[in-house]
């Protein structure tokens, strides 16, 4: 028996807002770009560790929670520059739990004053539905709905992301596609089970860009960034702008189309960045929640300085 879990689709739509995509909509999209685009891996001459978390609509019971970790670094093989990395993500939305892991490989080539990267991320997408926690009415118990599973089911499928990224001393831009294979996950109570439910992971498209604008004769600089995202049927967009002082303290604001306004604050330390974002919804859901919270931590371990001098490169996002 092959059943479509309409409930899953509806739950994912609510969890991701208007986008209805399978990736979390982080307001700090420019901080953890390897989450969306594997081509960004290895852009710095350092081992970079990113830890991000998003607590969405915190006033709701079983509200969406997303945690992810990425690590990446540059690598040189046969006189060719590469970037390698890894990504792990855990997400809880209502009665659904999603886990995603993958490895990243990016090929890099100097073009003009910038660097072009093309990357791929093979991995797996796992999902669990906790059917034992479903609460039904007396009427639903008398006439069971086959679309609502009353036992725990889970499944795993191959997943992959691809992307391209160009970084220049004055700007950066990226294009990526997540869940390229649009995998179908068969949710079963056990491996031997014949009956299963099916969940289709939507292919998503992302276009991002940003720049760094120093203000002459001051210690201030402006860092605007924007992202456009789309699936087959829907789209969304968000933009943000930060003002950074003395390359250390930054504050800013952002807006996600018909979803939320965002306030940012961050501190750049010697080898680390700590940032916080607060989203206040502008849609009708604002009547039931005070907003969402994000916390990001980035730590960088510099590599051999001799190698750095040989292949000097800066990221405009971190200048």
DSSP state of 289: -
Question: Does 101 reside within a domain?
Answer: yes
* Predicted local distance difference test score (pLDDT) of residue 198: 85
Question: Does 149 reside within a domain?
Answer: yes
* Predicted local distance difference test score (pLDDT) of residue 287: 72
Question: Does 32 reside within a domain?
Answer: yes
Contacts of 240 (CB under 8 A, 6+ apart): 27, 29, 30, 224, 225, 226, 252, 253, 254, 255, 262, 264
* Predicted local distance difference test score (pLDDT) of residue 142: 54
Predicted model pTM: 0.84
Q: Are strands 196-200 and 220-230 parallel, antiparallel or unpaired?
A: unpaired
Question: Does 252 reside within a domain?
Answer: no
C-beta of residue 167 within 8 angstroms of C-beta of residue 316: yes
- Is the C-alpha dihedral spanning 23, 24, 27, 30 positive or negative? negative
pLDDT, tens digit only, all 319 positions of the chain: 333 333 333 333 343 333 445 789 899 999 889 999 999 999 999 999 999 999 988 777 778 899 999 999 999 988 889 999 999 999 998 888 999 999 999 999 999 999 999 999 999 999 998 877 776 666 655 555 566 666 889 999 999 999 999 999 999 999 999 999 999 998 888 877 777 788 889 999 999 999 999 999 899 999 999 999 999 889 999 999 999 999 999 999 999 999 999 999 999 998 999 999 999 999 877 777 788 999 999 999 998 755 444 445 455 555 5
Residue 158 CA, chain-centre distance (Å), reads 18
Q: How far apart are CA 162 and CA 40, in angstroms?
A: 11
- By C-alpha distance, which of 157, 134, 100 is closest to 8? 134
Contacts of 234 (CB under 8 A, 6+ apart): 18, 19, 20, 21
Taking CA atoms, 115 is separated from 45, 167, 172, 223, 227, in Å, by: 13, 5, 10, 20, 20
Question: Does 243 reside within a domain?
Answer: no
Two structure tokens written together for 165: 């990224």
Q: How far apart are CA 270 and CA 48, in angstroms?
A: 13
- By C-alpha distance, which of 261, 256, 258 is closest to 291? 261
C-beta of residue 208 within 8 angstroms of C-beta of residue 224: no
Give, in degrees to the nearest 5, the angle at Cα 233 between 153 and 211.
105
Q: Which residue range(s) make up the domain with 17? A: 2-210+281-310
Q: Are strands 171-178 and 292-302 parallel, antiparallel or unpaired?
A: unpaired
Question: Does 74 reside within a domain?
Answer: yes
Question: Does 191 reside within a domain?
Answer: yes
Question: Does 127 reside within a domain?
Answer: yes
Q: Which long-range contacts (CB under 8 A, 24 or more apart) does 220-226 make?
A: 220/244, 220/245, 221/247, 221/319, 223/30, 223/250, 223/252, 223/317, 225/29, 225/30, 225/317
Provide the edge-to-edge strand list for the sheet that holds 2-4.
2-4, 196-200, 184-187
- By C-alpha distance, which of 209, 122, 139, 125 is closest to 174? 209
Domain count, the chain: 1
Two structure tokens written together for 210: 């940003």
């Amino acid at each position: 028996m092959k059943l479509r879990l309409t409930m899953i689709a509806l739950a994912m739509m609510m969890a991701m807002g208007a986008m209805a995509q399978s990736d979390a909509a982080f307001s700090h999209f420019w901080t953890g770009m390897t989450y969306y685009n594997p081509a960004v891996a290895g852009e710095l001459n350092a081992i970079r560790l990113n830890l991000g978390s998003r607590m969405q609509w915190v006033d709701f019971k079983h509200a969406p929670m997303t945690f992810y970790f990425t690590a990446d670094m540059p690598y040189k093989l046969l006189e060719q520059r590469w970037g390698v990395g890894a990504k792990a993500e855990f997400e809880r939305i209502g009665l659904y739990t999603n886990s995603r892991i993958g490895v990243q490989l990016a090929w890099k080539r100097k073009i003009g004053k910038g660097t072009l990267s093309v990357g791929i991320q093979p991995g797996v997408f796992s999902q669990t539905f906790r059917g034992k926690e479903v609460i039904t009415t007396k009427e639903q118990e008398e006439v069971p709905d086959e679309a609502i599973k009353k036992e725990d089911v889970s499944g795993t499928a191959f997943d992959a992301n691809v992307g391209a990224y160009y970084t220049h001393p004055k700007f950066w831009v990226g294009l990526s596609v997540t869940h390229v294979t649009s995998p179908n996950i068969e949710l079963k109570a056990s491996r031997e089970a014949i009956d299963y439910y099916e969940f289709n992971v939507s292919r998503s498209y992302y276009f991002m860009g940003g720049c760094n604008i120093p203000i002459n004769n001051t210690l201030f600089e402006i860092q605007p960034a924007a992202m456009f995202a789309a699936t087959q049927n829907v789209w969304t967009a968000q933009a943000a702008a930060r003002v950074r002082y003395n390359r250390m303290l930054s504050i800013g604001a952002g807006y996600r189309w018909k979803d939320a306004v965002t306030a940012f604050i961050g501190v750049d330390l010697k080898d680390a960045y700590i940032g916080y974002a607060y989203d206040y919804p502008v849609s009708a859901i604002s009547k039931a929640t005070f907003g969402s919270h994000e916390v990001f931590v980035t730590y960088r371990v510099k590599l051999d300085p001799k190698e750095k001098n040989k292949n000097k490169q800066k990221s405009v996002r971190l200048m």
